[in-house]
Amino acid sequence: MRKIKINRIYNHFKGKYYIVTNIATNTETNEEYVVYRSLYDDCKLWVRPLKSFASKVDKEKYPNINQKYRFELQK
C-alpha cells in the first residue's frame, strides 16, 4: 500500500486540496484511517479509511480522470 505522508497536501481527483493531519487507528478493528482537513471553504476535518484514501481512481466510473490515485501528494 502507498505511504501517506502527514502534514503534506494532497489533491483529490475531483480537484480540491486537503492536508493530511494524522493517521488514526480504530480501537475495535485496528483499521487505520487518514485524518485530513479541506483547504477550502470552512476547512472541515475529515476521516477516511487509509485503504480508500490510498486507492486508485475507479477508471470505469470516472473514465475521463487523468489522475492515477484518489488522492495524490503535491510537491
Instruction: Kindly list the strands in the beta sheet with 32-38, ordered across the sheet, starting from the edge strand earlier in the chain.
Output: 45-49, 32-38, 17-25, 9-12, 71-73
- Superfamily of domain 9-73 in the CATH hierarchy: DUF1653-like domain (2.30.30.320)
What does the pLDDT look like over 13-58, one tens digit per residue? 999 999 999 999 999 999 999 999 999 999 999 999 999 999 999 9
**pLDDT tier at 11, thresholds 50, 70, 90:** very high
The verdict on pTM exceeding 0.85 is: yes
Confidence band of 1 (pLDDT split at 50, 70, 90)? confident
**53, three cell numbers:** 484514501
Taking alpha carbons only, the member of 49, 45, 47, 52 closest to residue 30 is 49
Determine the straight-line distance between the first and last CA of the chain, rounded to whole angstroms: 20
CA 38, chain centre distance (Å): 10
The domains of the chain are located at 9-73
Q: Are 13 and 69 in contact (CB under 8 A)?
A: yes
Residue 68's pLDDT is 97
* Residue whose C-alpha cell reads 475507479 in the numeric block: 58
